[in-house]
Amino acid sequence: MKRRFVSTALVTLSLLLVSPSWAGKYNDVLSIGDKAPEWKDLPGTDDKKHSLADFADKDILVVVFTCNSCPYAVDYEDRLVTFVKEMSDSKASVGLVAINVNKIEEDKLPAMKKRAESKKFNFPYLFDETQKVAKDYGAVRTPEFFVFNKDRQLIYTGAMDDSPDGKKVTKDYLREAITATTSGKKIETEETPPVGCGVRFDRVRRQSKKQ
């Protein structure tokens, strides 16, 4: 009985250690206060390589996982352009970077370049063929937003606002989080469920048992 009790206790402990119970309310990987996972040398539509460290001069950094092919992501493109323009015109030191990890043809870098040019993106639009960055951040939707403070601690994650229809927005979570942070106030809403298409992660093929 004693051996069985010890074994059960060890199994329970191991499950607790690998359980995402410490993660966020809507994110299985990151929780509020966690440091931004590093990423380096991701190719952008500007033909340059970009890393997280490139944004060290920004007091606040917004990382959004998006793509070309998702209707939800497309609906937010103009809002992203407007947001970046507003932030550049304000006194706040806010940066935004968009990352795409989908690998279907309409989401690969050549298509991204055409999209960025036609929509006049005023922010870096990067491609991660390994899909590692999205996994490190726990991103599962496009678009999905992550806001980090000067110390690159997560202060908000989820949707940009409360409606995919820009004309029906009543709560702008992204701007509210940034305004609160720059004013030294507590963020009212730190987490919301992301709304959009599922990230197109590669499916792991199971090896056949047949030799």
Domain ranges of the chain: 30-38+63-198
pTM: 0.86
Q: 30-38+63-198 domain in CATH 3.30.450.20?
A: no
- pLDDT at position 90 is 87
Question: Rounded to whole angstroms, how far apart are CA atoms 137 and 135?
Answer: 5
Confidence tier at 204 by pLDDT (50, 70, 90)? low
Q: How do beta strands 42-43 and 125-127 pair?
A: unpaired
- pLDDT at position 60 is 97
pLDDT at position 50 over 70: yes
- Quick one: how far is CA 29 from the chain centroid? 11
pLDDT at position 181 over 90: yes
